[in-house]
Amino acid sequence: MSAPLVEVSAISRSYAMRSGMFGRAAAVHAVDGVSLTIAKGETLGLVGESGSGKSTTGRIVLGLEPPDRGEVRFDGKPMAAPGTPAWRAQRARMQMIFQDPLGALDRRLPVAAQIREPLDIHGIGTPADREARVRELLRAVELTPAHDARYPGALSGGQRQRIVLARALATKPDFLVCDEPVSALDVSIQAQVVNLLCDLQAQLSLTLLFISHDLRVVRQISNVVAVMYLGRIVEIGSADDLFARPEHPYTQALVSASPAPGRRSAGRIVLAGDPPNPAARPQGCAFHPRCPRAIARCKSEVPALAAVGGDRQVACHLVTGAETRDAA
């Protein structure tokens, strides 16, 4: 395994959220002690439901938001203070793409101008170089030069996401954070963009943090997958192995809830209860109120993420607790 490009150690982030217009402000722990490393040229998939803190994690890793505690190191160095030249240089090496490409694009500018924009901002190359680079990028995302004079409104959802991708790649970044990049796309278009991302990653040896609620897409693109629940990582391991043999009861439920054509649900795990509310985090293991296998210890003690063999780590008393495992 090559040296890590991104090292995230024990980051936490909480927000003060008012419940209602005049309610008392409560601290919402969006991210709570998350540690990750992403090796150069690899993809880490981050899965979880709404409120799991996966998007906030992505924003912190990218330096769009400071962590309250913990640290993010990029290529061995801590993130520079926002606004400094060192920060700008770092930021040119990391880019982000979001779920909604239309929101990320300016409807009033032709797409070529938008792809060129980061080159202008970072002052890369001569104007002629930039034009050439824009054409090269359009080719890279499998669009024809005929597309460059169009406006975002005249493109399909898949084409827009390609434009966003081309713009993100303009500064030749090493690291790309993708937050639900294909969730708004139809299946056939989704497959095009997933294939494109895989190809580009291989060609440009990109390192990716791929955030999605869609287990299938995450498995397709990731080397390592981390599962988040209420701001914490509950399980992490290599993609194929994790989905084939999930250990954490939550991961098991997620995998079981992902329906597959041609595989009738035999004994699907259906979790009771509503999606978790980050403002009212349960004591102990945050998952215990919905866990079909919770024991007394789960209600009081927060399980730590611990290695369980291979490269798998799980935060669950039932999996890591020696006595309980024997008893089970």
Partner 1 sequence: MMGRYFAIRIGRAALTIVLVVTFAFVVLRLSGDPALMILGPEAPSEVLAAFRKAWGLDDPIWFQYLDYFGAIAKGELGRSMRDGRPAIELVLERIPATLALTLPAFAFKVALGVPAGIYAALHRGSAIDRAVMMTAVAGFTVPSFVLALILVLVFAVQLGWLPSGGQDSWRHAILPIATLSLGGAAVLARFTRSAMLEVLGQPYIRTASAKGVPWRKVVTSHALPNAAIPSVTILGFMVGTLIAGAVVVESVFAWPGVGRLLVVAVANRDLAVVQCILLLVAMTMVTSNLIVDFLYGFLDPRLRTKGAHA
Partner 2 sequence: MVTPLVSIQDLRVAFGGVSVLRGVDITLQQGEALGLVGESGSGKSVTWLAALGLLPRHAQISGSVRLEGREILGAPAAELDHVRGGRIAMIFQDPASALNPVLTIRRQLCEALALHRDLQGNAVKAEARRLLDLVGIPDAGRRLEAYPHEFSGGQVQRIMIAMALAGNPDVLIADEPTTALDATIQAQILELLSTVRREFGMAMVLISHDLGVVAENCDRVAVMYAGRIVEEAPANQLFADPVHPYAQGLIGALPPLDGPRRRLTAIPGTVPDPAKMPEGCAFAPRCALAAEPCGHAAPTLAPIANDRSVACIRAEASRRALLGIAAE
- Positions touching partner 1 (CB under 8 A) are 18-23, 277, 279-280
Interaction partner, residue 205 (partner 2, partner 1, none; CB < 5-8 Å by kind)? none
* Gap between the terminal Cα atoms of the chain: 35
- Candidates 1, 21, 128, 270; binder of partner 2 (CB under 8 A) is 270
Q: Under rule CB under 8 A, how many of the chain's residues touch partner 2?
A: 45
**Least distance (Å) between residue 254 CB and partner 2:** 6
Rounded to an integer, what distance in angstroms lies between the CA atom of residue 307 and that of residue 310?
8
DSSP H stretches of helix in the chain: 54-61, 85-92, 101-104, 111-121, 127-140, 157-169, 187-204, 215-221, 239-244, 249-256, 296-300, 317-320, 322-327
Interaction partner, residue 128 (partner 2, partner 1, none; CB < 5-8 Å by kind)? none
**Least distance (Å) between residue 30 CB and partner 1:** 14
Q: Which of the stretches 14-22, 75-83, 106-114, 262-270 binds partner 2 when contact is defined by CB under 8 A?
A: 262-270
Parallel, antiparallel or unpaired: strands 4-18 and 69-74: antiparallel
Query: Could you tell me how many helices (H) and strands (E) the chain has, helices first?
Result: 13, 12
Neighbours of 128 (CB within 10 A): 8
Parallel, antiparallel or unpaired: strands 69-74 and 232-238: unpaired
Interaction partner, residue 2 (partner 2, partner 1, none; CB < 5-8 Å by kind)? none
Q: Which is nearer to partner 2, 85 or 262 (CB)?
A: 262
**In this structure, which amino acid lies at residue 196?**
L
Parallel, antiparallel or unpaired: strands 207-212 and 313-314: unpaired
Q: Which is nearer to partner 2, 49 or 68 (CB)?
A: 49
Interaction partner, residue 230 (partner 2, partner 1, none; CB < 5-8 Å by kind)? none
Residues in 9-68 at the binding interface with partner 2, rule: CB under 8 A: 49-50
- Candidates 16, 21, 128, 187; binder of partner 2 (CB under 8 A) is 187
The radius of gyration of the chain's CA atoms, rounded to the nearest angstrom, is 21
Q: Which is nearer to partner 2, 118 or 237 (CB)?
A: 237
Q: Which is nearer to partner 2, 101 or 321 (CB)?
A: 101
Decide: is 126 part of the binding site for partner 2 (CB under 8 A): no
Assess contact for 301 and 287: CB atoms under 8 A: no
Rounded to an integer, what distance in angstroms lies between the CA atom of residue 305 and that of residue 6?
19
Q: Which is nearer to partner 2, 35 or 223 (CB)?
A: 223
Name every residue whose Cβ is closer than 8 Å to that of residue 141 and which is 6 or more positions away in sequence: 162, 163, 165, 166, 169, 196, 200
Question: Looking at residue 260, what DSSP letter applies?
Answer: B
Question: Looking at residue 291, what DSSP letter applies?
Answer: -
Interaction partner, residue 18 (partner 1, partner 2, none; CB < 5-8 Å by kind)? partner 1
- Candidates 58, 101, 118, 158; binder of partner 2 (CB under 8 A) is 158
Q: Which is nearer to partner 1, 22 or 267 (CB)?
A: 22
Q: Which is nearer to partner 1, 265 or 277 (CB)?
A: 277
Residues in 216-245 at the binding interface with partner 2, rule: CB under 8 A: 216-217, 219-220, 240, 243-244
Inter-CA distances, 46 with 33, 82, 171, 193, 210, Å: 15, 25, 25, 18, 6
Interaction partner, residue 113 (partner 1, partner 2, none; CB < 5-8 Å by kind)? none
Q: Which of the stretches 146-154, 160-168, 171-179, 185-193 binds partner 2 when contact is defined by CB under 8 A?
A: 185-193
- Please report, as ranges, the residues that interact with partner 2 according to CB under 8 A: 49-50, 156, 158-159, 186-192, 194-195, 198, 213, 215-217, 219-220, 240, 243-244, 253-265, 268-272, 274-275, 290
